[in-house]
Amino acid sequence: MTIPSPALACGIDFGTSNSAVGWKRPGHAPLLPLEDGKPTMPSAIFFHDEDAAVSYGRAALADYLAGYDGRLMRSMKNLLGSSLIDGHTEIRGRGVPFRALLTHFIAQLRLRAQEAAGREFTSAVFGRPAYFVDGDAAADQLAQDTLGEIAAAVGFTHVEFQYEPLAAAFDYESQISREELVLVIDIGGGTSDFSLIRLGPGRAAMPDRRADILAHGGVHIGGGDFDRQLSLHSFMPLLGLGRQLRSGKDVPSTQYFNLASWHTINFAYTNKAWEHLSYIHANAAERDKIELLLHLVKERAGHWLALQVEKAKIELSEAASTCADLGRIAGGLALDLTRADLERATAPLIDRIENTVAALLRDADVAAQGIDTVFFTGGSSRISRLRERISALLPHARSVEGDLFGSIGAGLALDAARKFG
């Protein structure tokens, strides 16, 4: 009997929040261990100021939270398709191109995958969202081209791309025994992507699946957007957002918006931003709240606050209430939150996601009762109200939760085996 050989190529899920690498091997789980035996690694880098050390993933977040001096970068995927990709940021006193930071992280993904697999990978299928950029085909293509250039720069000589919800669909297909019409709902860190696809054991080996795809789309809303809205709605008012200057004008909101988004937090630490905050403090009607903001920025605790927001969002996806400990900003400071707070903050985002799914079904000319299964993946697909709205839209479909952080990587591994052997 011939024993199947391991695939020649890997699948890379470079995610906004977490990343994974999949490799199809007979008798083994598809995801390779990237950090401490775990199959996913947070998409984060921490550059230490005191030496040349660089840490990645959970270690990067741990070093930052431990109080080491340095620069934390997270949600770097959001730079693809934005004007920032060709810009620079300051690390250890010098300007470093944002493009170089993405190259640095993806090179580390390849290195760790090769160490875990015990072999070199020169071919890969990279996941990509339905749209890196909404409503701008040229910018969207430029984002994919940029990712392809980075992949080549780190050593991949052959690169293909696959839509992330389709990769998740391939992972689900490997687990079913009959044909189904499946709507894949992938709510990632930066985008929400949807695919309506026919799946089944008899279709899995087909090299060209285009005829099975009835509809495909997405919207640039992800977990980071849910975090940002919860931060602006519930956390930032504690620091003065929505308050007034002595002149009667509203406190300027720029710094609050910077602190509410992972990839712009560091903008709040520039000398220009500090001068702006000092002006706001001098002219604020309620200086005590602005003093909390000044302390947060002085301590460079913006990423810490973003982690507290993210933690609260995750907890409110499972529980009716939670309490965020904000003692790092001021002793004894805490914020009580309910699921209703999360739902109010994120209602416009969920409306857009529901409307996008409804439009996708209309475009495919598929009735709701024709959908067999809704397959959820991506960490923010756990949000209760989101699932309730999708279930109301498709009341006859059964809901299946995949590996929220691993389905895409596993599906990309299957696709890499099909494409490269």
Please tell me the predicted confidence (pLDDT) of residue 344: 97
Domain with CATH 3.30.420.40 in the chain: 10-178+402-420
Homologous superfamily of 10-178+402-420: ATPase, nucleotide binding domain (3.30.420.40)
Question: Residue 195 corresponds to which tokens in the numbers above?
Answer: 């695919």
Output the pLDDT for position 361: 93
The reported pTM is 0.88
Neighbouring-strand partners of residue 337? 322
Distance, first Cα to last Cα, the chain: 19
> pLDDT averaged over consecutive 10-residue blocks of the chain (421 residues)?
74 95 93 95 93 92 90 90 85 87 96 96 95 88 95 97 92 92 93 92 80 89 95 97 94 95 90 93 93 94 95 94 96 96 96 94 92 93 93 94 91 93 85
CB 42 within 8 A of CB 60: yes
In angstroms, rounded to a whole number, what is the distance separating the alpha carbons of residues 74 and 19?
12
Positions of E strands within 285-356: 321-325, 334-338
Q: Which residues contact 208 (CB under 8 A, 6 or more apart)?
A: none
pLDDT at 136: 87
Q: In the block, which residue shows the tokens 């008899």?
A: 202
